[in-house]
Structure 1
Amino acid sequence: MAPPPSPPHAAALPAWAAENALFRRHRRLRPLLLPAASLRAFAPLLSHCIVSGLARNPFVASRLLVASSRLSLRFSLLLLSHLPASSLSPFSFNSLIRASPPRLALQLFDQMRHRGVTTDRYTLPFLIHACSSGDRPLCESLHGQSLRLGYSSVLFTQTALMNAYFACRFEVAARRVFDGMQAKDVVAWTGMVSGYVDSGMFLRGVEVFQEMRSCEEAVRPNVATVVSVASACAGLGSLEYAKGLHAYVEKVGLEGELIVKNSLIDMYGKCGSIELARGLFGLMPQKDLHSWTAMISGLASHGHGKEAVALFFSMKEAGVLPDSTTFVVVLSACSHAGLVDEGISIFNSMENEYKVTPDIKHYGCMVDLFSRAGLIARGYQFIESMPFEPNLAILGALLSACSINNELDIGELVIKRIESVCSDKGGAGVLLSNIYANQNLWHEVDSLRRKIRDDTICRKPPGQSGFNTSTLNVVSLIIGQIR
């Protein structure tokens, strides 16, 4: 005799829910543990919970808020405002704070205290993370809140504060928080390394890693740690540090991780050893998109443009589809190697073959390709065909090529485009004046340089000095006003 059919969703329920008395008594709650497809699909369950009074249960209320926040944060906030305070828990607010933008997260935190819901050890870290937008006064204010609420010595809170200080480029405060941690775990150490790396302080990042290796707690690095340190070594361009990290990775047994191998290939490429990068790449039994892209980038940066393009086509033959970053790398390789036809073919294949929409970086690579090849008119035509306005980097590359190739007519057109993008054309104007000079158009040289000088003077703010009179009034003297 066949066993009776399982009730809906029973097979997908976690083990703890099957043993939970609430879910055993109320089988209609079981969909609450599964993601709803839409608000329309979620509505019957919500209606049942409200009508039956189950929404007053703090656990059910928190699950309703979490489930609805995944569908619509606005709807979830509306639901929160209609739930009784007795049904709300720290988990309810924490989940919404975690999913909210900074201003809304702060409002939820205020509402949480106003409605008498106590904070827990996760509230402030979630709030700090939500507000990590580079606002230093806000970061310091949240730090003060952690002190007042007694969570300033909780590692989870300290790590969140450290990351927030790095986000607002206040590295000294981040280090102060890090040094105040009584016990540092691998997440804290990794956050400190990556914070320095993101701030461009690569040597500090390596030094923190060395501290980690020598600390008494003997914290073992994880994959994220190695990737951050590899980025620091790459930023320094130090082959000595790179080799040291590679040896350490092998010692701790992380060399088999794909993401670690990818970061080592990228590191060696940026530290000047394309041969070591090649060796690692060749020995990899499994390669993903990042492996191929890192190797193509390394070859391109070392002047092996043809090999980089050949590797790009090998990647396609291996069945690995390129993404936007891969195309930037290979187009840059074409540009530096003078592979015009290959670059055009690869650019055209982006949308036609791979459905990757070119952005301004890809167009910039193509303009650079034409400029380096001396195809100035083709480069300008390409700019004219762009679906968006070119930036100063693209226009500057073409104007520089105009200066090298004495392309006066196109140079004047580019200058006009630069003026439409930015009123300050000082450097660009100098390039155009050089073209005039190369063609012995001295009147135009003099006229253009006068205009550049006059524009610069007009934009220069007047200088001011001040002194205290006997009545302590400050008198400003305008001493640099011209025209």
Structure 2
Amino acid sequence: MIRKPWNLSSSISSSPHFSSQAQSPSWVSTNQIFRKHPRLQLLHKRSPHRCFKPIFSYSLVSGLFQNPFVSSQILQSSTLFLPPDPSFSSLIFTQMKNPNAFSFNTMIKSNPSSALKLYVEMLERRIFPDKHTFPFLIKSLNSVTPNLNIGKLVHAHVFIFGFGADPFVQTSLLSMYFACQAFDDALRLFNEIPKRDVTTWTAVISGLVAQNCHLKALDVFKNMRVQAGDSSVRPNVATMVSVLSACAGLGSLDIAESLHAYIEKVGLHHDLFIRNSLIDSYPKCGSITSAWQVFHCTVNKDLHSWTAMITGLASHGLGNDALDLFSRMQKRLIVPDSTTFIAVLTACSHSGLVDEGIQIFESMEAFNLKPEIKHYGCMVDLFSRAGLLARAYGLVSDMPMEPNLVILGALLSACRVHGDLDLAKLVMEKIESSCSYHGGARVLLSNMFADKNQWNDVVSVRESTRKDESKPQGKSWIEVMGVVHEFGVEGSSYHALAREMHLVLDELGKLMEGSIVDVAMPF
């Protein structure tokens, strides 16, 4: 508990007076404790939760809990429970009279929502952070709600306490800037790092991929390969998995095949993570055949291998093949998880396999899986594509959670395909009441009014669409002669040849003058 207000942004002029309590007793002293109290060794077993309460009670009765090393080990063991119980760990932490840096690090790591308060309290107690504190703190902050201002203050503290050159701290800071979408700050930090190893390069690539900056990620990878002569910079499995994700995001088959060849050249092609990434990437780049080849040549397939292949088959409309593979997977005693069911239900939806989809959805209970919003979304999409709009709307109304824009948008699109304007209005009401952005849905509804020649309604809907300024910015990519071009709104994604392209479009527009437009189908 914080005893007095403390400003995180204030300078730490009194830092020389900090007394670091991070130093645990020496291992000699620790061994003496273990020899005298052998039951404490159970804390280091694989399943300490089974005997945790008796050990905790014993430490309180015997007074051992006041030993900083013992109490910190008990605290750490309490955070390993499944499911986690942060309140119990917090209760143990409050009983510690002199928690050390290890104890604070444990709490910061296991309590993301209270990480910043714990860090402030750590400084209030005049305890030095160590090299583990900032990676734990940054990761916890990123997992809640990334905040650039707080992140920059933490970055300042990294320098104040002398950890600016620590590679793990640098990597954490990079992830923080990417999570805050502060690309310039992230790349500036990256360029200021004098000796960049494979972990640093991979952090930048994965950060760019996470923010859908696929082209930039590939550019960074190209620069990394230039320095690959240094063994510390040579791409590893984590690097290539991130790069393959970037390739999948672009949908470039040429780049995918080039990366596959490079992976075989550097000897990483036997790694299961790499093979699963290839199975995932090839269908997204348009080649289900290449994905099949990698899948069949993978010896020790795991759940991710099967799920990735089923997902690829689903995306290519090969529903029966996906169901067959799902059946084969279960015969191999591979237990499907939540993601696997999403893949199979998607396959049913894209191939019109209604009865099979219902059966698979209902079978989730047999695997102790509770349907989530994505599973309900697959079922709504399945009914919508099959023209069973009433059944789809009934499922939306009976869902145990609020439907999102993806689900309602799929149903609205089906309403247009099947010409059900009345149901479309009901769906639109749900969208406007529960979704923050609905400009795209309004356009779809406007097109339905146009189909019915209800022009007053068209004008009304489009006027309200223009007032909606919350539309998220989008990007698109196209590959021409082996070169990927990125398009987006004016700014960092604005194409360099945009002016010339608009001139060509203007000329095409002039050539099209006098053509008859079919207003019944605006798309």
> 2: distance between equivalents of 1:454 and 1:230?
43
Following TM superposition, by how much is the alpha carbon of 1:447 offset from its aligned partner in structure 2, in angstroms?
Answer: 5.2
Describe the SS at the equivalent of 1:20. helix
Are the structure 2 counterparts of residues 298 and 70 from structure 1 closer, same or farther at C-alpha, using a change threshold of 3 Å?
Answer: closer
1:120 counterpart letter in structure 2: D
Which residue matches 1:153?
Answer: 165
Which among 329, 333, 340 is matched to residue 319 of structure 1?
333
CA shift, 1:278, in A, is 0.9
Cα deviation for residue 67 of structure 1 reads 3.0
Amino acid at match of 1:231: S
Retained in 2: the 8 A contact 1:18–1:24? no
TM-score (norm 2): 0.74
Report whether the alignment pairs 1:342 with 2:356. yes
Aligned to 1:374: 387
Q: CA deviation at 1:105?
A: 2.3
Q: Does 1:193 align with 2:193?
A: no
Among all aligned residue pairs of Structure 1 and Structure 2, give the percentage whose two residues are the same amino acid: 47
1:43 alignment partner in structure 2? 56
Question: Which residue of 2 is the match for residue 390 of structure 1?
Answer: 403
**2:240 alignment partner, SS class:** helix
- Do 2:380 and 2:396's aligned partners in 1 also have CA atoms closer than 8 Å? yes
Matched letter for residue 45 of structure 1: Y
Is the alpha carbon distance of 1:98 and 1:372 closer, same or farther for their aligned partners in structure 2, counting shifts above 3 Å?
closer
Provide, for residues 295-348 of structure 1, a one-character-per-residue CA deviation record: whole Å limited to 9, x for no partner. Answer: 122122223233223222322333323222222222222222222333233223
Contact 2:209-2:242 at 8 Å conserved across structures: yes
**1:226-245 CA deviation, whole Å, 9 max, x = no partner?**
21111111112222221222
Using the alignment, how far apart are the partners of 1:453 and 1:265 within structure 2?
43
- Residues 392-436 of structure 1: CA deviation (Å, up to 9, x unaligned): 333333333332323344344434444544598776566556556
Shift of 1:253: 2.5
Q: Give the direction of change, closer, same or farther, for the CA distance of 1:459–1:369 in structure 2 (3 Å limit).
A: closer
* Alignment-mate amino acid for residue 160 of structure 2: R
- Deviations 1:344-377 (CA, angstroms, capped at 9, x unpaired): 33223333x4333222322222222232233333
1:177 aligns with 2:186: no
- Answer with 1 or 2: which has the greater Rg: 1
Q: Distance in 2 between matches of 1:151 and 1:224?
A: 25
Q: CA deviation at 1:98?
A: 2.0
TM-score (norm 1): 0.79
- Cα contact 1:32–1:64 (8 A) shared by 2: yes
Q: Which amino acid aligns with 1:306?
A: N
Match of residue 407 from structure 1: 420
What CA distance in whole angstroms lies between the structure 2 residues aligned with 1:73 and 1:355?
25
Q: Does 1:21 align with 2:8?
A: no
Structure 2 residue aligned with 1:235, among 246, 249, 252? Answer: 249
Q: How does 1:37-186 map to 2 (within 5 A)?
A: 37=50, 40-50=53-63, 54-70=64-80, 73-85=86-98, 88-102=99-113, 104-132=114-142, 133-186=145-198
- CA 426–100 in structure 1, closer or farther in 2 if over 3 Å, else same: closer
How far apart, CA to CA, are the structure 2 residues paired with 1:409 and 1:257? Answer: 54
- 2:291: which partner in 1? 277
Alpha-carbon contact 1:94-1:123 (below 8 Å) kept: yes
Paired AA for residue 164 in structure 1: M
Is the CA contact 2:389–2:411 (under 8 Å) kept in the aligned structure 1?
Answer: yes
CA distance in 2, matches of 1:192, 1:92: 30
Name the aligned partner's letter for residue 273 of structure 1: S
Evaluate the alpha carbon distance shift between residue 279 and residue 18 of structure 1 in structure 2; reply closer, same or farther with a 3 A threshold. farther
Q: Does the Cα contact within 8 Å between 1:335 and 1:365 map onto a contact in 2?
A: yes
Per the alignment, in what secondary structure is the counterpart of residue 256 of structure 2? helix
Contact 1:32–1:45 under 8 Å retained in 2: no
In the alignment, structure 2 segments of 5+ residues that lack a partner are: 1-26, 471-523
Q: 1:255 aligns with which of 266, 269, 287?
A: 269
Q: For the structure 1 residues 373 and 89, does the alpha-carbon distance in structure 2 shift closer, same or farther, using more than 3 Å as the test?
A: closer
CA distance in 2, matches of 1:424, 1:238: 30
Q: Distance in 2 between matches of 1:230 and 1:424?
A: 31
Residues 449 and 455, structure 2, Cα contact 8 Å, conserved in 1: no
Q: Deviation per CA, 1:84-117, whole angstroms, max 9, x where unpaired?
A: 44xx432232222222224x32333233233332
Q: Partners in 2 of 1:459 and 1:340 — Cα distance?
A: 37
- Give the conservation status (yes or no) of the 8 Å contact 2:100–2:127: yes
Q: Does structure 1 retain, via aligned residues, the 8 Å contact 2:109–2:140?
A: yes
Aligned 8 A contact 1:134 1:169 in 2: no
* CA RMSD of superposed structures (Å): 3.2
Paired AA for residue 404 in structure 2: N
Aligned length: 435
Kindly state the Cα deviation for residue 174 of structure 1 after the two structures are TM-superposed.
1.5
